[in-house]
Structure 1
Amino acid sequence: MTTRPAPPPLPAAPEEGYQRGLGGRQVQMIAIGGAIGVGLFMGAGANIAQAGPSIVLMYALAGLVIFFIMRALGELLLYRPVSGSFASYAREFLGPFYGYATGWTYWLMWVVTAMAELTAAAIYLHFWWSGIPQWAGALVFLVVLFCVNLISVRVFGEVEFWFSMVKVTAILGMILIGLGVLTLGFSDAGPTASPDNLWAHGGFFPHGVGSSLMTLQGVMFAYVAVELVGVTAGESADPRRILPRAINTLPWRIVIFYVGSLAVILAVVDWTEFSAGTSPFVHAFQKIGIPLAAGIVNFVVLTAALSSCNSGMYSTGRMLRGLAADRHAPRAFARLNARRAPAVGTAVSVAVMGVGVVLNYLVPQQAFGYVTSVATACGIWTWSVILVSHIRYRRAVADGLLPASAFPAPGGTLFSWVALAFLALVTALIAYGTETRVCLYVGALWAAGLGAGWQALKRRGAHLPDDRRAPHDRAEDPGPADGEGAGPAAAPAE
């Protein structure tokens, strides 16, 4: 990435054609829900088996870095709150290619994540109705969530609010029950439930520090989607008030929902009893002896999967519309329907997700692991772009080229550099692991595809901002759809 003078600030786009229908309550819950998903409910089992009690420290360490990333994003959001912020900031501060690559990569991250989540949701459904074919359950969930996203952003926000509410309530309930077991002893776990379990069985690092570090790929997947609050910027009723509050509550969410819940579970149940492929929460509740525990937790995990799919559809439609506004995707993706939702972009994303459901049905065991590693790699790219954009923005502010944000990140750019070094470490660990390395091969193919697409855009001048294109190269404004939605926002200036 070559250094170049920072561009002047872009004109504010207060509406972008979207309906600002997300209130503070909904954005807060979207932010909370983004930090709780299948990566915790299911993925923690394999991580515990590999790292032992030290997995608590790994989640805390990764969570601290995620907070640095979110504060960097928060400073950018308050400088210029726009929907699809990652690609927009990459285009402004790093150049048009990085905006193009970031938008498409973030889209891929959510598409592949939704592939795994839809299949997982169909499998969870078999807990109650084993006779329903897996493909049928996945198809029903896909269609229902697609309709929710097309109705209006307000309906999406309300559905996501209640999805997140279920997850939050369940986690808090698990923590309280676990604390009750540790202090009052009312369970079948008997005298084995004790804080001593955190260090009594081989120590805090039973397999060594290196083995614990190797879990960071799975740990970081659990945090993928926490940045979704940035995508809501263009549709928040009052982004300058709501977004800082949502970001500043991230530390306590990580401490309670990840560090707290896992610490309590590992104190109640010896870590050696957990294994890959099983939910540590289900096993802990079975050990405690609570009636219907498996059914309750299965419902929560199902909700977590549907919540992630719901967020994925929301995000992918907005990212495709942002790409279309920058002339980096077909112009049809820029259109909004009568309810100001990016219907075409969402429909295309859902179609691709449907292909993934079929693939996950055919090879469910291998596909899920591959998909999560690809999603993590995409997340690392997105987070890195946020951090580098923040560093470039701070440099422009220091040079007097841009106004200061109302929500500055603590430590200036220091913590952004620290977070970048941490992400580089995680990438090296992914390359070292034989099972996770496959995502780097997929990444190479994806990069080649992006490069080919970029060359095609350059040949027709679509990679340039509007004011530098020949008249015949400039895309026409698609205009409003059905008399309601507005056309895309103007492409950022270089």
Structure 2
Amino acid sequence: MTQAVDQHDNGSEALTADGTTSGEGYTRALGARQIQMIAIGGAIGTGLFLGAGKAIDRAGPSLILAYAIAGLVIFFIMRALGELLMYRPVSGSFSEYAREFVGPFFGFVTGWTYWLFWVVTGITEVTAAATYMTYWWDIPQWISALAFTVVLYGANLISVKLFGELEFWFSMVKVTAIVGMILICLGILTLGFSDAGDTATVANLWNDGGFFPEGIGGTLMTLQIVMFAFLAVELVGVTAGEAKEPKKVLPKAINTVPWRIAVFYVGALIMILSVVPWSTFEPGVSPFVAAFEEMGLGIGAAIVNFVVLTAALSSCNSGMYSTGRMLRDLALNGQGPKFFTKLTRNGLPLVGTTFSASLMLVGVWINYQWPGDAFNYVVSFATISGMWAWIMILVSQLRYRAKADRGELPQSEFRAPGAPYTSWFALGFIALVIVMMGIDEEARISLYAAPFWAAALGVAYLVIKGRNPDTFARKEAVAPRD
């Protein structure tokens, strides 16, 4: 353990002779197959399966355009992250890069904020999963939420290899289901079978009030939901410390972003909104389940409901994985309690995962108190905290690129195309999303909470720095700010 801490403090990512252990003490057990599916499945979750229902109600078919533009921005963000990962692949990922290129305080804020993001996302996903259970059984949401939280916590205590294998099959289920749904919708459009066969037409994309039935303003108001759907694509960066051959598998995973967005978001929405008119869908109901019910394919709706349940549990599982790693990275850098550095014999951050899972039980209480509004309450918190990680990725990449171009640091093997202009464009788009969140009454609550979180982190940083001045001084000396 001491060796792992020392190596991490020196900023290295050394491997043992057999190449299976990272310099952070983790076991490199995630292969290319698992990393690819984690990258693909990370962006397919509650935001698409459940949140899209509310977004369709607000924007109609123009939601397709919102997903396409936001997807382009996500690709710019991921290529910026890829450039940093090839410079130095570590499990601390964007927290480490913020610490190095923006300053120790921003690394501290990024690490704790991303940890909060996954705790809140875990609450969101377990809330969605509990909602899906009501499709079959009329049981209180909080009971399902409690059961799912306990089971997923137990799954995260076995091994990272098992985590990767579970995520592989979870993602495979999601991918197979969406591709199958696209093919079924395509069959209905061309062959006209099912109850929706007589009315299914691509013209549904503009016949019912036009492509922008709620105006451009309605489309802009969905940006928060759209960006929430893409949160977790950056999770592939957190796996860097436990990936086999990270400099080989991570670029391949990142380069899948354009086609998976084109197929799973844009393609899927084009299909279901062509088969079923957009005005049919309701907020809070999965549009995928609703579409199959409108088609008269009852068994199909049940299958899709099972798939979206799997997707929610998969995302919550990823949340438990990432929170433990982020807490350990903070602790290794003197920015969190030292007991979070402890690993099990299998290389798992038990204490950090346990602490995070216990906080996710707040989701059980939310589902008990406000079962109807639980999803809406937590989405906005997750969105603003997740977007902070994206902002730090882009700012860190801009500063890294400037230093590399001046010859102060080695050039990355995976340079972001179009940078720095694409990175600035992505930052501007995120700023637009934050402005729209301020206009949206439901999303505004997260902007109210953000200053309190920032103030709490500021006070905590000053206290920790006062107690460990040498730690922060050493970090600043190793990675001086511009």
| Residue equivalent to 2:12 | 11
- The aligned amino acid for 2:64 is V
| Residue equivalent to 1:299 | 306
Report the alpha carbon displacement of residue 366 of structure 1 after superposing the two structures with TM: 2.9
TM-score by length of 1: 0.91
Give distance in 2, aligned partners of 1:264 and 1:390.
37
Contact 2:339 / 2:351 at 8 angstroms: preserved in 1?
yes
Structure 1: give runs of 5+ residues left out of the alignment.
Answer: 1-8, 470-490
Choose from 56, 61, 65 the match for 2:64. 56
Give distance in 1, aligned partners of 2:237 and 2:284.
32
- The aligned amino acid for 1:62 is A
Give distance in 1, aligned partners of 2:199 and 2:137.
35
Give distance in 2, aligned partners of 1:38 and 1:463.
43
Contact 1:328 / 1:463 at 8 angstroms: preserved in 2?
no
Correspondence 1:256 to 2:263 = yes
Choose from 77, 102, 107 the match for 1:99. 107
- The aligned amino acid for 1:401 is E
Report the alpha carbon displacement of residue 463 of structure 1 after superposing the two structures with TM: 7.4
Contact 1:96 / 1:464 at 8 angstroms: preserved in 2?
no
Correspondence 1:120 to 2:121 = no
| Residue equivalent to 2:415 | 408
| Residue equivalent to 1:110 | 118
- The aligned amino acid for 2:366 is L
Report the alpha carbon displacement of residue 170 of structure 1 after superposing the two structures with TM: 0.6
| Residue equivalent to 1:484 | none
Contact 1:465 / 1:493 at 8 angstroms: preserved in 2?
no
Contact 2:97 / 2:396 at 8 angstroms: preserved in 1?
yes
The total of aligned residue pairs comes to: 464
Change (3 A) 1:276 1:257: same
| Residue equivalent to 1:392 | 399
Choose from 155, 165, 170 the match for 1:148. 155
Structure 2: give runs of 5+ residues left out of the alignment.
Answer: 1-9, 16-21
Change (3 A) 1:362 1:392: same
| Residue equivalent to 2:276 | 269
Contact 1:81 / 1:239 at 8 angstroms: preserved in 2?
yes
Report the alpha carbon displacement of residue 412 of structure 1 after superposing the two structures with TM: 2.3
Deviates further, 44-53 or 71-80: 44-53
Correspondence 1:382 to 2:389 = yes
- The aligned amino acid for 2:214 is H
Percentage of pairs with the same residue: 61
SS in 1 for 2:372: helix
Correspondence 1:444 to 2:445 = no
Q: How large is the RMSD of aligned CA atoms in angstroms?
A: 1.6
Which runs of structure 2 are paired with 1:481-492 in the superposition (5 Å)?
none
Change (3 A) 1:191 1:463: farther
Give distance in 1, aligned partners of 2:217 and 2:136.
40
Post-superposition Cα deviations, 1:284-337, rounded to whole Å, max 9, x if no partner, equal 111212241221111011101100110000000000000001111100001101
Post-superposition Cα deviations, 1:447-473, rounded to whole Å, max 9, x if no partner, equal 11101101111221357447489xxxx
**Runs (4+) off by over 2 Å:** 9-14, 122-131, 133-140, 364-367, 461-469, 491-494
TM-score by length of 2: 0.93
Which runs of structure 2 are paired with 1:363-378 in the superposition (5 Å)?
363-378=370-385
Choose from 310, 321, 325 the match for 1:318. 325
Contact 1:115 / 1:360 at 8 angstroms: preserved in 2?
no
| Residue equivalent to 2:7 | none
Correspondence 1:308 to 2:308 = no
Contact 2:44 / 2:311 at 8 angstroms: preserved in 1?
yes
Contact 2:101 / 2:396 at 8 angstroms: preserved in 1?
yes
Post-superposition Cα deviations, 1:110-147, rounded to whole Å, max 9, x if no partner, equal 1011112113223323433435x543332222222112
Give distance in 1, aligned partners of 2:464 and 2:257.
39
Correspondence 1:228 to 2:235 = yes
Correspondence 1:157 to 2:142 = no
Give distance in 2, aligned partners of 1:321 and 1:146.
17
Report the alpha carbon displacement of residue 370 of structure 1 after superposing the two structures with TM: 2.0
Give distance in 2, aligned partners of 1:308 and 1:12.
27
Choose from 188, 206, 210 the match for 2:195. 188
Contact 2:142 / 2:367 at 8 angstroms: preserved in 1?
no
Report the alpha carbon displacement of residue 399 of structure 1 after superposing the two structures with TM: 1.1
Give distance in 1, aligned partners of 2:129 and 2:58.
26
Report the alpha carbon displacement of residue 278 of structure 1 after superposing the two structures with TM: 1.2
Report the alpha carbon displacement of residue 211 of structure 1 after superposing the two structures with TM: 1.3
Post-superposition Cα deviations, 1:360-401, rounded to whole Å, max 9, x if no partner, equal 321123332121011110111110000000000000011110
- The aligned amino acid for 2:185 is G
| Residue equivalent to 2:214 | 207
Give distance in 2, aligned partners of 1:170 and 1:299.
10
- The aligned amino acid for 1:167 is K
Deviates further, 274-283 or 257-266: 274-283
